[in-house]
Structure 1
Amino acid sequence: MPMFYRLLQSALMAVFLAMFLVAASPAAYAQLDQAPSPASPSAKEEVELYQQLQGKVQGYVSIPDGKLATLVQPEGREWREFRNYWARIISGVMMVGMLAGLAAFYLFRGKIRIQAGRVGRTVTRFMPVERFAHWLSASSFVVLALTGLMLAFGRPVLIPLIGHEAFTALAHYGKISHNYLSFPFVLGILMMFVVWLRDNIPEKADITWIKQGGGFLNNGFHPEAGRFNAGQKMIFWTVVLGGMAMALSGYMLMFPFYLTGVGGMQIAHIIHSLGTAVMVTVIFGHIYIGTIGMEGAFDAMGNGEVDLNWAREHHAGWLKSEGISTDTRDGPSKVPTGAGRIAGQEAD
């Protein structure tokens, strides 16, 4: 089993690197600065027509769908400019900026170690149903993020590398997987909301944790936190609220015109694209802490057990609520079975 968890951790780092290569590729922005094709001879007449019609060309139709009467929508040109330029710029800056910040932090701080060392005894951090909910949403999100980035940056990045035909097939199957994997993603978020809501309510101790920077900048100092610290709570609410926003806007795009018209679809697309960038940026930090950023953190979701000294240093308030001593010189105390119980197994 330890080998499996190491392979899983390596796979997460590979995904982390793949997202970085897509987001940071200079080719993603190479086509954004290309000049438009020369104007046609009738461009002047078209501009005059748009000015006379205040930019909107709309007629009449006898069929029930009145939306088809609109031939030209000025907001559509603004949306297209945002989609083809600003959405890529904003998303790229956010994601690459986060990756650069994490790299700089790692060079400055290094891996956060267990100061007292591993004690060789573990405490149950997450039950199987909690880990299932996490990995269900996490694995779905990885595919959703990669396919979404492919659809957003694929034309300027992938077509020059693999050609139009290969990209067409990749985009086709990517869109299918993107649509269908949205359902397990939403299910995982709903499960996490149910099982972790009680532990993610903001409290006064979170303010202290934030003021002290979570102890990340001070080697050997860790502010007391409950089962989830303020940073984890922020990730929780970002995933829950952001995930629901992604689901709602995504389903509006997947099933067009059931709830709104063309203008509403354009707004849904903007929310979906910017919300995705925010979530990917936040998850970058989450993956960093859970893999190379902190010793012992991956064990919590890997096998559900964390070293007792790790829990004492990072979640002393949680151990107190479970009746476990937070003094690293003490042996483990007996507590009821379930999350928080002491296990006698050796730490990996």
Structure 2
Amino acid sequence: MRDSSILPACAMLAALLCLSGAAVAQSPAVNPEDAERARAQQERQATQPGNNAPVWRDVRYGEPKVSQVRGRETNVLIQSEGQTWRAARVPMATTGGFAFSLALLGILGFYMWRGPIQLTEPPTGRRIERFTRVQRIVHWTVAIVFTTLGITGLIITFGKNVLLPVFGYTVFSVVAMAAKILHNFVGPVFVVVLPIMIVMFLKSNLFKSYDWPWLKRFGGMMDRTGRSEVPSGKANAGQKILFWLMVVAIGITAAVTGLILDFPNFDQTRQTMQIANGIHMVAGLGGIILLAFHIYLGTVGMRGAYDAMRHGYVDESWARQHHRIWYDDVMSGKASHGGKRVKVIEPGSGAA
């Protein structure tokens, strides 16, 4: 009786041993490196309880592990490239700050040396339409949006080193948060209005054969007498370079990288956003520097330039001196706005 009860127990034990052996055979092989790290951690816990340095050192490697959260990079606790990005961003911002400061000093120096570009002939009173109402609305919309992004971008980039020591933590925290929110929400508006401006001003910014002589002499702008300006079309070669570099190249680059940074829910990786951040910062600083030159020449740098974009009209003497080829086309009826002949208002008519 006793022998009959032992036999089933032995059979059950043999079956369990077979099952456990099969499970071990099917289980993945233990990584020797992981096993060594686990053993080292156990030994450290025995001699130095609470010291988790090996665990965090392993995490710091940035290697993908196991995570219950599904998504790109969710199995990477600490991305080691983040420190590389931070270390590269600091000198980039410093260099950009020096470049921006030198640009402002250059503008100031040029103004002190050259002064505002004046008309060499008295105004005739005859007004020529230079920009339509729609063109001016688009221009000022892009200008306000880009300026807003430029100012808030400068606060985000340099505020910690420039504004914080002056205003303190309380004021700077409010300013920085407002700049961040404004930058993030105004950015998509720039993405919408930028293509409209590019299409609207594309035709007048195509390069022509007469642009090369203008470039060789820099339009005669270095002549302080103002009597050696080189004839140009509606946009001179300098304005065309500014259009293609600042509006098209830098504008599109800043818009694309800005969307990547503004909408991380598109499932882009952290490395993609770090690269986009660097490109966005370089493009933004370059655009701000070019914008500073554009604002200078469009306001105090050249008499009458601001009136062209504010009211849409310029005096006949201004058009003849600064854009002689365009002026001749207007007088001959070749120039047009959207298929319509450019308006010319005689003195005292009061029409617009």
Q: Which residue number corresponds to residue 24 of structure 1?
A: none
Secondary structure in 1 matching 2:264: coil
Secondary structure in 1 matching 2:183: helix
Q: Distance in 2 between matches of 1:90 and 1:152?
A: 12
TM-score, normalised by the number of residues in structure 1: 0.77
Q: What letter is aligned with 1:272? A: H
Q: What letter is aligned with 1:226? A: G
Q: Which has the larger radius of gyration?
A: 2
Q: Which residue number corresponds to residue 294 of structure 2?
A: 286
Note the residue ranges of structure 2 that are not aligned, 5 or more in a row: 1-52
- CA apart distance, 1:55: 4.7
Q: How many residues align?
A: 290
- CA apart distance, 1:257: 5.0
Q: Which residue number corresponds to residue 318 of structure 1?
A: 326
Check whether the contact 2:63–2:76 (CA below 8 A) recurs between aligned residues.
Answer: yes
Q: Which residue number corresponds to residue 38 of structure 2?
A: none
Q: What letter is aligned with 1:225? A: S
Distance 1:278 1:259, change over 3 A: farther
Q: Distance in 2 between matches of 1:303 and 1:235?
A: 22
Secondary structure in 1 matching 2:266: coil
Q: Which residue number corresponds to residue 29 of structure 1?
A: none
Secondary structure in 2 matching 1:144: helix
Secondary structure in 2 matching 1:112: coil
Matches within 5 A, 1:20-39: none
- CA apart distance, 1:186: 2.8
RMSD of aligned residue pairs (Cα, Å): 2.5
Are residues 1:81 and 2:83 paired?
no
Identity %: 33
- Residue of structure 1 aligned with 2:277, choices 266, 269, 279: 269
Distance 1:221 1:316, change over 3 A: same
Q: Which residue number corresponds to residue 110 of structure 2?
A: 105
Q: Which has the higher contact order (CA 8 A, sep 6+)?
A: 1
Q: What letter is aligned with 2:293? A: G
After superposition, give the CA deviation of every residue in 1:161-206 in whole Å (9 maximum; x if it has no partner): 2222222222222222212222332333222112111111122222
Q: What letter is aligned with 2:310? A: G
Q: Distance in 2 between matches of 1:107 and 1:229?
A: 24
Q: Which residue number corresponds to residue 171 of structure 1?
A: 176
Q: Which residue number corresponds to residue 6 of structure 1?
A: none
- CA apart distance, 1:59: 1.9
- Residue of structure 2 aligned with 1:92, choices 92, 97, 113: 97
- CA apart distance, 1:143: 1.2
The farther-off stretch of 139-148 and 125-134 is 139-148
- Residue of structure 2 aligned with 1:225, choices 232, 240, 246: 232
Q: Distance in 2 between matches of 1:67 and 1:301?
A: 50
Are residues 1:243 and 2:248 paired?
no
Q: Distance in 2 between matches of 1:322 and 1:336?
A: 14
Secondary structure in 2 matching 1:68: coil
Q: Which residue number corresponds to residue 77 of structure 2?
A: 71
Q: Which residue number corresponds to residue 344 of structure 2?
A: 342
Q: What letter is aligned with 1:78? A: T
- CA apart distance, 1:346: 6.4
Q: Which residue number corresponds to residue 208 of structure 1?
A: 213
Check whether the contact 1:319–1:340 (CA below 8 A) recurs between aligned residues.
Answer: no
Check whether the contact 1:119–1:308 (CA below 8 A) recurs between aligned residues.
Answer: yes
Q: What letter is aligned with 2:254? A: M
Distance 1:66 1:276, change over 3 A: closer
Q: Which residue number corresponds to residue 25 of structure 1?
A: none
Distance 1:298 1:76, change over 3 A: same
Q: Which residue number corresponds to residue 254 of structure 1?
A: 262
Q: Distance in 2 between matches of 1:295 and 1:194?
A: 28
Q: Distance in 1 between matches of 2:240 and 2:280?
A: 22
After superposition, give the CA deviation of every residue in 1:28-78 in whole Å (9 maximum; x if it has no partner): xxxxxxxxxxxxxxxxx78x957xx99534322132114122233332112
Q: What letter is aligned with 2:126? A: R
Q: Distance in 2 between matches of 1:97 and 1:67?
A: 41
Note the residue ranges of structure 1 that are not aligned, 5 or more in a row: 1-44, 326-334
- Residue of structure 2 aligned with 1:62, choices 49, 63, 68: 68
